[in-house]
């Protein structure tokens, strides 16, 4: 067992226990992917009486595993695929408000740094895994026994989740290395593990998405 990853899981649960103590309930949209699997596991293990997972549709990947982890609700599938991400988040927001729950977002640090998160996802109240790189999430999912089909889905193209085919062809581990270099957490020599074509593609995407990461969250203090 990786002691570092095990310690990380313990600290995450400790943080959730402290920060979500004041919540009346937690609503976790699950997609069948690794991010929502990890968030749902952590919140359900710390606050099982507060946590409810929600999925739009019937075909939840690894449904038996998710149902074994905690309480999952299934909502009717959307009638249209137009603006599906916006519509799903509107449904989740309304449900959270109706039941006085915090709406949990499953954005990770890789998405947050790269700007590949959806704008609709900004309605989330609580972001428990936003400090985790995708490589951390994959290791944590392996530790807690997330099914391989869920983890494999994180390496396939999924444009709706900000992962087009070109990006999916680059290993997750390489993407995290690139981002760590760009924010100064690693030296430039770390890019030696990427090809020039990969670096060029990631740089282009990083610059194109930069405006999302710089969106202001507070107004000026005018008093």
Rounded Cα distance between 139 and 158, Å, is 21
User: pLDDT tens digit string along 144-198?
Assistant: 999 999 999 988 757 666 677 888 899 999 999 999 999 999 999 999 999 999 9
Are 162 and 175 in contact, with CB atoms under 8 Å apart? no
Domains in the chain with CATH codes: 3-153 (3.40.50.620), 159-213 (no CATH)
The pLDDT tens digits of the residues spanning 45-94 come to 999 999 999 999 999 999 999 999 999 999 998 877 778 888 999 999 99
Q: Compute the distance between CA of residue 103 and CA of residue 113 in angstroms, rounded to an integer.
A: 21
pTM value is 0.92
How far, rounded to the nearest angstrom, does the alpha carbon of residue 125 sit from its chain's CA centroid? Answer: 13
Instruction: Report whether 117 contacts 212 (CB < 8 A).
Output: yes
Q: What is the pLDDT of residues 116-155, one digit of tens each?
A: 998 888 899 999 999 999 999 999 999 999 999 999 998 8
**Which pLDDT band, with edges at 50, 70 and 90, does 1 fall under?**
very low
Q: CA triplet 47, 155, 121: central angle to 5 degrees?
A: 50
């Amino acid at each position: 067992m990786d002691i570092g990853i095990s310690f990380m899981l313990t600290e995450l649960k400790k943080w959730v226990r402290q920060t979500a103590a004041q919540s009346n309930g937690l609503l976790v949209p699950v997609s069948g992917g690794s991010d929502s699997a990890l968030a749902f596991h952590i919140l359900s293990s710390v606050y099982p009486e507060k946590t409810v997972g929600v999925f739009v549709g019937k075909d939840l990947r690894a449904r038996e595993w998710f149902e074994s982890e905690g309480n999952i609700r299934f909502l009717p599938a959307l009638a249209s695929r137009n603006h599906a991400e916006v519509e799903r988040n509107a449904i989740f927001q309304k449900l959270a408000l109706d039941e006085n729950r915090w709406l949990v977002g499953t954005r990770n640090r890789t998405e947050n740094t790269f700007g590949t998160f959806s704008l609709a996802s900004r309605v989330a109240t609580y972001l428990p895994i936003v400090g985790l790189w995708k490589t951390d999430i994959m290791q944590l999912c392996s530790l807690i026994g997330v099914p391989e089909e869920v983890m494999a889905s994180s390496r396939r193209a999924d444009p709706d989740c900000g992962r087009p085919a070109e990006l999916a062809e680059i290993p997750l581990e390489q993407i995290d290395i690139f981002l760590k270099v760009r924010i100064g957490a690693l030296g430039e020599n770390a890019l030696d593990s990427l090809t020039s074509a990969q670096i060029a593609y990631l740089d282009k995407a990083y610059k194109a998405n930069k405006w999302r990461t710089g969106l202001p969250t507070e107004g000026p203090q005018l008093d």
